[in-house]
Amino acid sequence: MSTPKYKRVVLKLSGEALAGDIGYGIDSNVITSFAKQIKEIVELGVEVAVVVGGGNIWRGISGSDRGIDRATADYMGMLATVMNSLALQDALEHMNVPTRVQTSIEMRQVAEPYIRRKAIRHLEKGRVVIFAAGNGNPFFSTDTTAALRAAEIEADVILMAKNNVDGVYTADPSKDENATKYETLTYLEILNKGLRVMDSTASSLCMDNHIPLIVFNISEKGNIRRVVLGEHIGTVVRGSN
């Protein structure tokens, strides 16, 4: 089967995943692997938007815990996402995949400012669009950015790529051997059970706008392609059963 189930997707990549085994910064082998997987689905005709976190460089909430003003720490985190986005853009363009980075905070020398209509036009032309700098406001996570941008560009699904985790579990599988994996969930269940899939703001936004979410393991090569072709891997989250 080579006909994609989804025409337009938002891929959410965690910043920590980009660090690989190094644990900090950007592992070139990892980012190249991610770029190859993105290229695979672009070649299927899927319109791809990407939201990258910044946790491999800086996490706003961690900076706040160290005494830095929370808003300032969050803005620093937004800049970290721009660094990751530019690195991913470079990896994709080395593979001849046309890519645009759009930032919520203007920095025209390195990226376009986020403009919804322009982002959609890029997608229609087959370009990968990377949304950087969160949504431009402190106190919001990149999960919320993914939910917001998915609603704005009318994406069919959010693909939440996890590093070495193949879905949503009842508990942390690395700490609890009795943890079991959910095949399907609703956003209401995520909120009621306090599952750490995405923050409550992002979950509510997805629920209100009927945007499905698929949580899967990106460490296994080819998984992004499998997901967009409709293969059931990971955990599927919907607004209702």
In a domain, 226, yes or no: yes
Domain of residue 191, residue span: 8-238
Provide the annotated binding site for UMP.
54, 74, 135-142
C-beta separation of 55 from 63 below 8 A = no
* pLDDT tier for residue 158 given thresholds of 50, 70 and 90: very high
What are the pLDDT digits (tens) for 223-238?
A: 999 999 999 999 999 9
Strands 8-13 and 47-52 turn out to be parallel
**Residue 64 pLDDT greater than 90, yes or no:** no
What are the pLDDT digits (tens) for 77-134?
A: 999 999 999 999 999 999 999 999 999 999 999 999 999 999 999 999 999 999 999 9
In a domain, 16, yes or no: yes
Q: Comparing 12-16, 109-113, 195-199, which segment has the lowest mean pLDDT? A: 195-199
In a domain, 3, yes or no: no
In a domain, 233, yes or no: yes
- Give how many domains the chain has, as a whole number: 1
Q: Comparing 42-51, 132-141, 172-181, which segment has the lowest mean pLDDT? A: 172-181
Residue with tokens 């005709």: 45
Q: What is the mean pLDDT of residues 5-29?
A: 93
Q: What is the mean pLDDT of residues 45-58?
A: 95
Return the pLDDT at 175. 85
**Residue 240 pLDDT greater than 80, yes or no:** no
Q: Which of 102, 107, 111, 105 is nearest to 136 (CA)?
A: 105
Provide the annotated binding site for ATP.
12-15, 55, 59, 163, 169, 172
Strands 8-13 and 213-217 turn out to be unpaired
In a domain, 41, yes or no: yes
In a domain, 2, yes or no: no
Provide the annotated binding site.
12-15, 54-55, 59, 74, 135-142, 163, 169, 172
In a domain, 1, yes or no: no
The pair phi, psi for residue 239, each rounded to 5°, is -70, -35
Q: What is the CATH number of the domain that holds 146?
A: 3.40.1160.10
